[in-house]
Amino acid sequence: MVLLKPDSSLYNYWRDWVKENYKEEYEHAISKSSPKQNVLNLMFKYLNIDKKQFMSEHRKGLYFSNIYKNGREFLCDEISEDDLIINDRFENDILDWWKPRAVKRYSKLFDENRLDDNSLWYDDSNKKKVQSWFSSRGVDEIL
């Protein structure tokens, strides 16, 4: 379950209020996974609002990219890890493949005035930072 986010103008106002009045807790909240949910928790806590009234059972989206041509077979335990065949688009540097798509997405959001002004974890990312992030989560080699 997740907390429902209020309208952006309300969220931005109270997010800034929490950031100004509870700076350490705010910094801690945005440094962990699900930063927006963490900030919402702080907002509800300090505004003394019962979170139960604003919870949604709607499941979050899942983003998946099949890195391997036979990834489904591996996930179904039909083949071993040694039998995996990488998809052509992942053979080269994944950032070279991903960056044009990310730029296109950003440009579209910018043109439609739908950019979110919250800082995201991948700001100023490079191959070393991405590898470090995966490594800290137990994925030894991705790039």
Going by C-alpha positions, the residue among 110, 130, 114 that lies closest to residue 122 is 130
Considering the domain architecture, whether residues 70 and 53 belong to the same structural domain is answered as no
Q: Which helix (H) or strand (E) holds 22?
A: none
Q: Give pLDDT tens digits for 38-97.
A: 999 999 999 999 988 888 776 666 667 788 899 889 988 999 999 999 888 777 677 677
Domain range for residue 127?
A: 93-131
| pLDDT-based confidence at residue 100 (cuts at 50, 70, 90) | confident
Are 113 and 103 members of one domain?
A: yes
Mean pLDDT over each residue of the chain, to the nearest integer: 82
Same domain membership, residue 70 and residue 34: no
Q: Identify the helix (H) or strand (E) that includes residue 56.
A: strand 55-56
Q: Tokens 């806590």 — which residue?
A: 45
Give the pTM.
0.43
In a domain, 143, yes or no: no
